[in-house]
Amino acid sequence: MLTKILSVSGKPGLYKLISTSKNMNIVESLADGKRIPIYLSEKAVALSDVSIYTEEEDVPLRKVFAKIKEKEGGKKVAIDKLTQNKDLFAYFAEILPTYDRNRVYASDIKKLIGWYNILIENNIDFEAENNASESTEMQEEKSSTLTNEARNEVNAKHSESSSKKADSKSKKVETQTRSKH
């Protein structure tokens, strides 16, 4: 589901992707449900494309959200905007102990917690992302296989039909030639 949830630069909150066109996307605010256009010149990022720096490798946001959900018991995080930076870093160290302390800032943690709270308020299942994408890939592969099989079947019928027509034409030509002689 995080592939359809966007963060838009310069706009507060999160947005659900409703439709796309050549020059813009239509999104719906998760806060108030208002739909607005997002043009190509505006920077929008799907939450599925966001990850957190760690000392080893980057961790997808979905996994970080799952760890927060586990810690909070599926409830919203009680940290607010007035929380001291040291408290934010201590909380985040409990969630992701190997986060890169040089590249993850307090503002990043505040934004991440705000996003998590918005997702929880809107009952968006960010943990289902992995299973859904695997299922979609399998369906696309199956569809592609079926499409190829159907295409082969159509081609076979077409060539069979073409050869029958060619045989029929040659028989007509033979018949016409015989009747002239």
Per-residue pLDDT band at 135 (split at 50, 70, 90): very low
Tell me the percentage of the chain whose pLDDT exceeds 90: 60
Its pTM stands at: 0.69
| Residues present in the chain in total | 181
> How distant is the alpha carbon of residue 75 from its chain centre?
24
Q: Would the pLDDT of 145 be above 70?
A: no
Q: In what order do the strands lie in the sheet with 44-46?
A: 35-39, 24-29, 15-20, 5-8, 44-46
